[in-house]
């Protein structure tokens, strides 16, 4: 039987959860004996397989229309979707923006910042995504496995992926439930 396929992507996150994933060090070799690691932001393939993957992983919350598209696509192409890290699970640090609102945040960043002169302008190119209220992944798509943490430990990520690789849903326990 073919190894289950795993794909990941990052949204409004700092990539720290992917770094934590890599912190499993040599265990990644063990893991890749059990799974077929496909598209990730740090491997060559960039989009999850069109014919679908078994496990999709999303790091980061949803802060704009592009994040939303990526999340919807990952959900569509994954049998099991993991929300990886506090940003994906709760909204995380980017969700701090919600206290002032996207408009205020854009104004502060592009017009009122200390290094902006009169030519400061909020980018409005139609090709750009629209800035939104920051949401956890589960507010946009159904999530099957929540792995909170900032970042979740490499041990927790290894546990979750190796359980899924062996056909079991991972437990929520002291290892996997550490919000930081």
- Give the interface with other proteins as residue ranges (CB under 8 A): 83, 86, 89-93, 95-96, 98-100, 133, 135-136, 138-139, 143, 146-148, 150, 172, 174, 176-180
Nearer to other proteins, 4 or 92 (CB): 92
CB 168 within 8 A of CB 139: no
The CA distance from 131 to 108, in Å, is: 14
By beta-carbon proximity to other proteins, the closer residue of 36 and 178 is 178
Q: Which is nearer to other proteins, 48 or 92 (CB)?
A: 92
| 24 or 84: CB nearest other proteins | 84
* Alpha-carbon span 24 to 22, nearest angstrom: 5
Q: What angle do CA 166, 168, 172 make, to 5 degrees?
A: 125
CB of 97 to other proteins, least distance (A): 9
- Give the integer Cα–Cα distance in Å for 79 and 91: 23
Beta carbon of residue 151, minimum distance to other proteins (angstroms, whole number): 10
């Amino acid at each position: 039987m073919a190894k289950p396929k795993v794909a990941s992507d990052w949204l409004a996150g700092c990539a720290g959860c992917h770094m934590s994933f890599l912190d499993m060090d040599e265990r990644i070799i063990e893991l890749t004996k059990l799974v077929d690691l496909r598209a990730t932001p740090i491997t060559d393939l960039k989009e999850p397989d069109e014919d679908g993957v078994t496990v999709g992983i999303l790091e980061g919350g949803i802060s704009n229309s592009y994040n939303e598209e990526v999340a919807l696509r990952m959900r569509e192409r994954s049998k099991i979707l993991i929300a990886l890290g506090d940003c994906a699970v709760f909204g995380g640090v980017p969700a701090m923006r919600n206290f002032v609102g996207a408009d205020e945040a854009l104004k502060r960043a592009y017009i009122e910042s200390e290094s902006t002169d009169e030519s400061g302008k909020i980018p409005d190119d139609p090709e750009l995504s629209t800035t939104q209220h920051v949401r956890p992944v589960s507010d946009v798509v159904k999530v099957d496995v929540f792995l909170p943490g900032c970042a979740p430990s490499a041990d927790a990520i290894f546990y979750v992926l190796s359980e899924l690789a062996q056909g079991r849903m991972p437990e929520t326990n002291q290892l996997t439930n550490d919000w930081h």
